[in-house]
Structure formats: C-alpha cells, structure tokens
Amino acid sequence: MDSFFPFCYSITMDTELPTIFSAKRTSFVRTSVIREILKLTVENSDILSFAGGLPNPHLLSKDILSSVMESVVKDHSRFALQYGDSSGYLALRTQITEKLTDVPWVTSDSISITHGSQQGLDILGKMFMDEETNVLLEDPVYLGALQAFSPYQPNFFSVPMETDGPNLYWLEEILSQNKIHVFYINPSYQNPSTYTWSVEKRKQIATILDEKEVILIEDEAYRYLDFLGNVYPSVSSFRERNDLTFVLGSFSKILSPGFRLGWAVVPEVYRSLFTAVKQGNDLNSNQFSQVVVSQLLDQMDWTKHLDSIQSYYYEKQKILSSLLKEYIPEAKFVVPEGGMFLWVEFPDVLQKEMMNQCLASGVAMVPGSEFSQVSKLSSYFRMNFSFLEKEEMEVGVKRIAKVYRDINT
Ligand SMILES: Cc1ncc(COP(=O)(O)O)c(C=O)c1O
C-alpha cells in the first residue's frame, strides 16, 4: 500500500516471516489509514485531527453512568459478570426492538447483539462472501466495510452516489448486467460522504432489490444523528423480501463506542447460522456492557439525550462549515443533514501531496481515495467536526488553508 507517512511512519511489515506463514486470505486484508492517522495523532499531540470519527465523550451524562455502573455491580453481577446468551441479553434485545428499529417484522428473536456494528459486517461477510460473490458498494463507501469484506475476496462493484442516494441509471445497469448477490448500504448521513438517501429513492430501490433478489445489508450507524431530529425510514422497512434483509445498528454514536455494542436484525432463516458464526468469534458480546447499556436505556431520558447530541453536532457542523467558507472559499462541500463529517473537495490539489503537507503542518484529514474502490475521488477529504473544540478547529483550518495556498501558487 502507498503510505501517506513517508517522513515518520511505515505501515509495511518489518520482516518477510508473516507473509510466509500467513493464510492466503491475509493478503486481502486492508489496513486503515484512519487508524494509522489516529495512532500518529496520539503519538504527536500537536497534530490537530479532523481525521477520526470520534463521537464526543462528554455527551453521555457521567452521573447517570456512575449510578448505573454501581447498580449493575451491586444488583446484577450474577449475570453481568457471567457468560451470556450468544444472541445477546434479552432485556437489551427487547429494548432495541421497541425503541431503535422500524423494520415491521422485527421481534426480540430477530435481534443479535454484536461487538459494534463492525462485527456484524464481519459475520455477514463470512456468511455470504467468497470468490464467487458479487458485492455492490456505494462509491464512496465506509472503509470499515471494505476491511470486513475484503478477506473473503468477493468481486466488488461500485455504484456512484448522488447527494440523495445512488445514481438510479447506474444501479439498474449494474443490476441488469451482473448477478449481484449482496448490496451494502449506509443510507443516512453516510460515512464518508454524509449523503442521505431520499425517501423516494429508498422506496424505489427496495422494490428493485426485491425484484432482483438481492441481499441487503443496511448499515444504520448514524440513523439518529440528524441535526433536526428527523429519523428517515430504513430502506429495509420498504422491502417485501424479509428473508434477504439485514440491518445493522450501533450504540457507538448514540451512547459511546467504549461499550463496543451494536446489533444486527437477522431474518429467521439465517438466525442459527449467524449465532454459530458469532460463537466462533467471541461466544457472546460483552455481557457487562450489555447490562449497563440496558440499564442506561431504562433510566435515561432518551429523547432529551438524542436531542442534545443532535444539537451539539449541528453547532459543530456550522462552525466547521463557516471556517471553511471563510478561510478556503474554494473548498466545495454539501452541507449535511446530520452525521459527524464534511466531505470536502479541495480543487486543483493532488491528494497525496496535500495529505503529506497537512501532516507536516500539524493537521490531519482522511484522503477520499481511502473510501473508494475506483479511486477517482482524488481531491476529496473527509473532515470530522465532532471532536475538536472550536478554537482548535480554527487553527486547523488555517493550517489547511496555508497548505492549500502553498500548493496552488
Ligand atoms: C458507517 C459505519 N458503520 C459501522 C461502523 C462501526 O461502528 P461500531 O462498530 O462502533 O458500531 C462505523 C464506525 O465508524 C461506521 O462509520
């Protein structure tokens, strides 16, 4: 892989040994530039990072968390400190069914708790993908899905994205010319583009996928991060083919990624297989976290909590948008409806040069090509706004502006 860190960091292996003994599939394992940048920013605290997708840790009330933790230790340790059901803690599955999904056929039996939605991606990759599988992705696509699916060596196809969802002409072309088995989508405030599918496209595409008998993996990691509190209906809720429909959800962006908890809505015919694959991974998801999250869901004012996250991120988005407009008016981006990112085009720069010079100037963003199988997004960068404080963002944007001007003079 082409490294973005020529001056300080190498992500190649130190010896030949691992490649001699490693399984063939390991040559398809992708590294994540985002994780490398995160590591770099931890090592060098002078780097201001717009790179991570880190939710703000202060948005979860520490008072409620402390009292819940205490009660879990005192009153629920018999099962919180024990192995648990591989498909997850029943009370939590029931709460998810009631509060956090709109798929009409869901019951607590359809929910499987996972270690983050990332584990759901890996399990579904293991269940459905090998060299013969044709997998359709959005372009750009969530990098973690590429990391999860790539070791299974499927054939990837990419559909170009518009601000309101996939380009329908290309979607129909791809589906009519190839037998697509799986379509992976992230339709609300997508990572990285933040594009959000319109309700109309959700309905149309659900019908097309039914007709073509395509397995849908709908990733809802950002579902509740709409700045105005809207919640879009899932694409899955418009499908007739329940048996071909998987939905992944996550507590990472609405509570904390520290719990490492997410869930998968799994059709009945695949439940025992999904659970068996999960058992091979980890037997069951962190039982202690599950009990804590379940108690939190019971005790928190959920509407108020979501409201505070949404309005906080909305404010941060406005700050970064206006800083970019002020210091780099040439930068192009669509103001998102929700999420944690801006997807910014810096015209007339080579991504690699811009990236290296930004890092050398003490500021980090993620290059857009990381999120593409077809790699045409050469002057795009993903910028996170949920983590840095206002003053840090201003310094960071000024550093980027200087790099941009230096390259363009
Ligand atoms: C689109 C998307 N899906 C899934 C994940 C994985 O999240 P987690 O495993 O924390 O639930 C992320 C994390 O950033 C994401 O952006």
CB atoms closer than 10 angstroms to residue 408: 11
- Test site for ligand 1: of 142, 246, 263, most ligand atoms within 8 A of the Cβ: 142
Q: What pLDDT shows up at residue 13?
A: 46
Ligand 1 neighbours by CB, cut-off 6 Å: 53, 116-118, 142, 144, 186, 191, 219, 221, 250, 252, 257, 262
Ligand 1 atom at minimum distance from 117 CA = 11
Ligand 1 atom at minimum distance from 257 CA = 10
Q: How far, in Å, from the CA of 74 to the mean position of ligand 1? A: 32
- Spatial strand order of the sheet with 380-384 comes to 341-345, 380-384, 366-367
Nearest Cα residue to atom 16 of ligand 1: 191
Ligand 1 atom at minimum distance from 261 CA = 11
Q: What pLDDT shows up at residue 67?
A: 95
**How far, CA to CA in Å, does 369 sit from each of 40, 334, 374, 403?**
19, 18, 8, 19
Q: What pLDDT shows up at residue 1?
A: 35
Tokens describing residue 59 = 């948005």
The residue type of 379 is S
333 in Cβ contact with 324 (< 8 Å):
yes
256 in Cβ contact with 102 (< 8 Å):
no
Domains of the chain plus CATH, in order, are 17-60+304-407 (3.90.1150.10), 84-299 (3.40.640.10)
Q: What is the 3-state secondary structure (H, E, C) of the chain?
A: CCCCCCCCCCCCCCCCHHHHHCCHHHHHCCCCHHHHHHHHHHHCCCCEECCCCCCCHHHCCHHHHHHHHHHHHHHCHHHHCCCCCCCCCHHHHHHHHHHCCCCCCCCHHHEEEECHHHHHHHHHHHHHCCCCCEEEEEECCCHHHHHHHHHHCCEEEEEEEECCEECHHHHHHHHHHCCCCEEEECCCCCCCCCCCCCHHHHHHHHHHHHHHCCEEEEECCCCCCECCCCCCCCCHHHCCCHHHEEEEEECCCCCCHHHCCEEEECCHHHHHHHHHHHHHHHCCCCHHHHHHHHHHHHHCCHHHHHHHHHHHHHHHHHHHHHHHHHHCCCCECCCCCECCEEEEECCCCCHHHHHHHHHHCCEECEEHHHHCCCCCCCCEEEEECCCCCHHHHHHHHHHHHHHHHHHCC
Tokens describing residue 13 = 């292996």
Nearest Cα residue to atom 14 of ligand 1: 53
Nearest Cα residue to atom 12 of ligand 1: 221
Q: How far, in Å, from the CA of 83 to the mean position of ligand 1? A: 25
Q: How far, in Å, from the CA of 379 to the mean position of ligand 1? A: 24
- Spatial strand order of the sheet with 155-162 comes to 111-114, 262-265, 245-250, 215-219, 182-185, 134-139, 155-162, 165-166
Q: What pLDDT shows up at residue 21?
A: 80
Ligand 1 atom at minimum distance from 251 CA = 11
Q: How far apart are CA 351 and CA 378, in angstroms?
A: 6
pLDDT tens-digit profile, the chain (409 residues): 334 443 333 334 455 666 778 888 888 887 777 777 877 777 777 899 999 877 877 888 899 999 999 999 999 999 999 999 999 999 999 999 999 999 999 999 999 999 999 999 999 999 999 999 999 999 999 999 999 999 999 999 999 999 999 999 999 999 999 999 999 999 999 999 999 999 999 999 999 999 999 999 999 999 999 999 999 999 999 999 999 999 999 999 999 999 999 999 999 999 999 999 999 999 999 999 999 999 999 999 999 999 999 999 999 999 999 999 999 999 999 999 999 999 999 998 888 889 889 999 999 999 998 898 876 667 899 999 998 999 999 999 999 999 999 988 7
Q: How far apart are CA 386 and CA 403, in angstroms?
A: 23
Q: What pLDDT shows up at residue 145?
A: 96
Ligand 1 atom at minimum distance from 142 CA = 1
Count how many residues are written for the chain. 409
Q: What pLDDT shows up at residue 409?
A: 76
- Test site for ligand 1: of 96, 149, 197, 250, most ligand atoms within 8 A of the Cβ: 250
Q: How far, in Å, from the CA of 95 to the mean position of ligand 1? A: 20
Q: What pLDDT shows up at residue 55?
A: 81
Q: What pLDDT shows up at residue 43?
A: 76
- Test site for ligand 1: of 118, 248, 259, most ligand atoms within 8 A of the Cβ: 118
